[in-house]
Amino acid sequence: MIDRDSCQSFQTRTSCPLCHDDLIINWQGDEIPFFGEVMYITAMCKCSFRFTDTIILAQKEPMRYELKVECLEDLNSRVVRSTSGTIRIPELGIDVEPGSISDSYITNIEGVLDRIYSVVVTATKWSEGDEEKHSRGLEVQKALEEAIDGKKVLTVIIEDPFGNSAIISEKAKSYVLAPDEAEHLKTGMIVFDVNSSEVELDACDSEHILKE
């Protein structure tokens, strides 16, 4: 059933996958400057089930975006991260892969680093019994703090097999992923096997950030 308010905003109804009660899904269109149309999708049930996603309507090919963060201005570059987006910071060995209930969000590079920093802090506390991992966690925290202060150069990469994530900046490099590159990416539509992870940090995203 569809209740249309306009061509840019409407609702659909379905059953909650957890409690099977009636669930309303809100669809809201928007226009992002220099990028194009997007659709925000949100749903929340009284049983606590929730789902959010951002679909970039103008881009459907599997994409990779890469930005070298070299100054404070780069921290303001806009980031669209869909539920199918993987974020990487190769200098720190950080991979943030989508899990089965990942959230989408629109933020900037600084916001992405802040999110990762909070998870690193938690992971570091969890690894207090392992001297090597704990020390590595503290190193990553320091590097992220320096990057947020504009004192350290980092590369932020976003890969998305559905093309619904992006870094919006004149400096960002982008290219279409080859089929063999895209097929190895997580999509957020399946349950990620955390047994293969070195550290499980978040119930929503599978993050590997204490790598050597």
Q: What CATH number does residue 177 fall under?
A: 2.60.120.1040
Per-residue pLDDT for 204 more than 50?
Answer: no
Domain that holds residue 66: 60-208
CB-based contact 58:91 (threshold 8 Å): no
pLDDT grade for 198, boundaries at 50, 70 and 90 = very low
Q: Indicate the SS3 state at residue 77.
A: coil
Total count of domains within the chain: 2
Q: Give the pLDDT of residue 55.
A: 74
Nearest to 180 by CA among 152, 208, 154, 161: 161
Residue 23, token pair as written in the block: 């669930």
Domain match, 43 and 148 both: no
Domain match, 45 and 64 both: no
Which tens digits make up the pLDDT trace of 82-137?
878 899 999 999 998 887 666 778 899 999 999 999 999 998 999 888 888 899 99
Domain match, 33 and 64 both: no
Domain match, 94 and 195 both: yes
Measured CA to CA, the distance from residue 189 to residue 76 in angstroms comes to 30
pLDDT, greater one: 59 or 66: 66
Domain match, 54 and 66 both: no
Neighbouring residues of 54: CB distance < 8 A, sequence distance ≥ 6: 38, 39, 40, 41, 80, 81, 82, 104, 105, 106, 164
Range in 22-31, 51-60, 126-135, 155-164 with the lowest mean pLDDT: 51-60
Domain match, 116 and 166 both: yes
Domain match, 69 and 54 both: no
Is 0.75 surpassed by the pTM of this model? Answer: no
Measured CA to CA, the distance from residue 181 to residue 34 in angstroms comes to 27
Q: Give the pLDDT of residue 187.
A: 72
Domain match, 117 and 87 both: yes
pLDDT, greater one: 117 or 7: 117
> How many CA atoms lie within 13 Å of 143's alpha carbon, on the beta-carbon side?
20
Domain match, 81 and 37 both: no
Q: Give the pLDDT of residue 50.
A: 87
Q: What CATH number does residue 36 fall under?
A: 2.20.25
Domain match, 31 and 11 both: yes
